[in-house]
């Protein structure tokens, strides 16, 4: 696979999972309303996907070695990957009670982050366990801190 596509896909997967998971946990802890959670997820899917795609676009343009085509490949791959990954968070929210959707999404996406980290390091002939544990720890930290923030905001303003 082309490097430009790998950059966009890996960034889109990671950002799509972390940002949407953060929002899901935060909104579920703070509001407990499915409609608000779904609206938040759709906002991430559209606005944040476009924002991240622009960020990758500008970042890739700053590298003189990248062609115009490579820049756009990374941009488009970032947008669509993040958009699709973010949208898939809606499915458990629609089908399950909100707490169950949060728990299942957290476990599911933690596993995906771990798998992606593992595959990247294996493809580069590196020992994957440092990255796997580092990325899993960061993901768990995001979930935990977001949950505490959502609870705190709900107590202050709810």
Q: Which domain holds residue 69?
A: 3-157
Number of C-beta neighbours around residue 60 at 10 A: 22
pLDDT 10s digits, 36-56: 999 999 999 999 999 999 999
Instruction: Measure the CA–CA gap between 51 and 40, rounded to whole angstroms.
Output: 15
Question: What sign does the dihedral 105-114-140-36 (CA atoms) show?
Answer: negative
pLDDT 10s digits, 72-124: 999 999 999 999 999 999 999 999 999 999 999 999 999 999 999 999 999 99
Instruction: Measure the CA–CA gap between 118 and 135, rounded to whole angstroms.
Output: 10
Count the domains in the chain.
1
3-state helix, strand, coil in the chain (%, to 5): 85, 0, 15
């Amino acid at each position: 696979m082309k490097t430009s596509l790998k950059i966009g896909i890996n960034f889109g997967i990671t950002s799509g999972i972390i940002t949407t998971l953060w929002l899901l946990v935060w909104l579920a802890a703070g509001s407990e309303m499915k409609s608000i959670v779904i609206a938040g997820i759709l906002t991430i899917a559209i606005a944040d996907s476009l924002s991240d795609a622009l960020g990758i676009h500008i970042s890739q343009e700053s590298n003189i070695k990248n062609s115009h085509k490579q820049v756009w490949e990374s941009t488009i791959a970032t947008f669509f990957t993040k958009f699709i990954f973010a949208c898939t968070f809606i499915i458990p929210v629609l089908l399950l009670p909100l707490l169950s959707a949060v728990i299942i999404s957290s476990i599911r996406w933690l596993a995906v982050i771990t798998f992606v980290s593992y595959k990247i390091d294996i493809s580069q002939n590196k020992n994957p366990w440092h990255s796997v544990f580092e990325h899993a720890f960061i993901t768990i930290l995001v979930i935990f801190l977001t949950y505490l923030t959502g609870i705190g905001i709900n107590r202050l303003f709810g």
